[in-house]
Structures are given as C-alpha cells and as structure tokens.
Amino acid sequence: MNREERNHHPARKVRFVVMYDGTHYHGFQTQEDSRLPTIQDQLHHVIQTLTGESVKIICAGRTDAGVHARGQVVDFSTSSRIPDERFPLAMNALLPRDITVIQAETVHPDFHARFDALGKHYRYTIYNRRMPSPFQQRYSYQVFPELDLERMRAAAAALIGTHHFGAFCASGSVVKRLERTIWRCTLTPDEEGCIHIDVMGDGFLYNMVRIIAGTLIDVGKGKIDPRSMPEIIASRDRTQAGTTAPPRGLCLMKVWYTPQPVMNGSQQ
C-alpha cells in the first residue's frame, strides 16, 4: 500500500487487539493455497459477515504457523458503524474459540499496524522438566536436563543494544537492513516448571526470537559458552548461532505505538 492509497480512505479505520492459539493455523497471513487456514482468513471472513465488506487486514507481526499471540494488533478500513465497544463481542460470537478480539478502537485514518509499531514484546516459553505436561505441550518447548539459568542470563545480556543481527536471522530472508535494537531480554522461571524468555525491541528479523531462544537453550545446556555471544553477534553468520527453537513456544505479547490523536471523542 503506497502513501496515496493510505490517504484515500473510507469513513473509518479500526484497530483490533487479537489473541490466538496458533496451534491449528498456518500462521497469520493468508496463504496462496487457500486450503491452509490462517488467522487473517478467519478475521477477514468474520468482518465480511458483520459488515458486508471485503476488507484488507494489516497486522503488526506476521506470526508463523504454530506461533501464538496475546497482543497481536491489526487494522482495517471500514464504512461499518458498529461502535468500538460492541465490535469485540460481535467478532467473538462468530470467530472460532481459538481466536478472540479483546479490544477495538477507531484510530486515525493514517494508522498502520506494522509501519507505526514502535516495538514489540515476544515471549518464548521453555518447559524444563523431564516429563511432558498435558497443559504445556501446545505452548512451550520441552527441554531436559535442567538448564543453567545464570549462564543463559549472561548470554542474554550480550544481546541488549543495537546490533547487526545477521547471525540471528533465518537464511533466505530478503530484508536488507539487519540492524535492530533489543531493549530487554529477561529469563523468568515459574512455579510450573517453565522458563519464559521475554524479548523486547524495536523490531525483529525473520525467526529472530526463535533463534535467540535456541541459542540461549544451547548456552543453558553447556553447548555454547556465554562469553562467546559478542563473537557470535559480530560474525553476522547464521551458522554461528544456535538452533531455531520450534514455533509452539513463541507468543507475540504486545505491540507498542505512539499515543494516537483523539478520534470522535472515544479515545483517551
């Protein structure tokens, strides 16, 4: 979508915050093979049912097959007059139970969920027990033996800041600028046996969080020395970092934007 198209808009632009369990979907984005169900397909379909319009949804983060979201943000233009506060209820009544709209807001017509994102929070969850848990299998990556959390934290600290993340980008990616800034990367164990890796930054390359998770797991197992992290980053070479952890452990938690201009009195 170019600038000219962005300035020509129907009556209203709507922003949704969406949660989904990605287990049964082939990622967010509509696939060429229309037999593969995606989150975007489901949203398009329900919005069409509600408004009669064939809208084009833009998302903040194009999550892969099997990846989950607790705070995906999408936008679309519509002439519908469904009030903001009724939109989530109307959507949820028609969506499958593994996708829910938790918030809707009319925003400035120029708002763009991806271009306007200031940063994102992804969480990667490891299940660090010997026996699998029926409650964790869809939402975490089971790893055993016990990981060395202090080693992993030392390695994570090396990721903070602005770096060329070529070593943490899936080979074959066509993105040109590989500099990104990581604001925080924390590791938090919980009482159920999980370790949550929370990564926040201004943007993420293809598979970047999953490669970070795989590398930190290799550090936690003793396969990679945490002191070699600066070298791995400096190499800009994908083969120097660890494996790519599987998608089911990944969740898009939050997307940050600048405060939006007030629209028709309904926003803060």
- Whether residue 226 has a cis bond before it, omega within 30° of 0: no
Asked if residues 113 and 50 have their Cβ atoms less than 8 Å apart, the reply is no
Half-sphere exposure for 122 (CA within 13 Å, toward CB)? 27
Residue 129 or 236 having the CB closest to its own copies: 129
What minimum distance in Å lies between the beta carbon of 258 and its own copies?
A: 25
Binding site for its own copies (CB under 8 A): 19-21, 68, 70, 88, 92, 97-103, 129, 131-135, 137, 139
Half-sphere exposure for 184 (CA within 13 Å, toward CB)? 12
Residue 1 or 131 having the CB closest to its own copies: 131
Question: What residues are labeled active site?
Answer: 64
CA distance 192 to 128: 9
What minimum distance in Å lies between the beta carbon of 3 and its own copies?
A: 34
Tell whether the torsion through CA atoms of 248, 57, 170 and 223 is positive or negative: negative
Task: Locate 215 and state its tokens.
Answer: 């590398």
122 labeled part of a ligand binding site:
yes
What minimum distance in Å lies between the beta carbon of 134 and its own copies?
A: 4
Residue positions forming the annotated binding site? 122
Residue positions forming the annotated binding site for substrate? 122
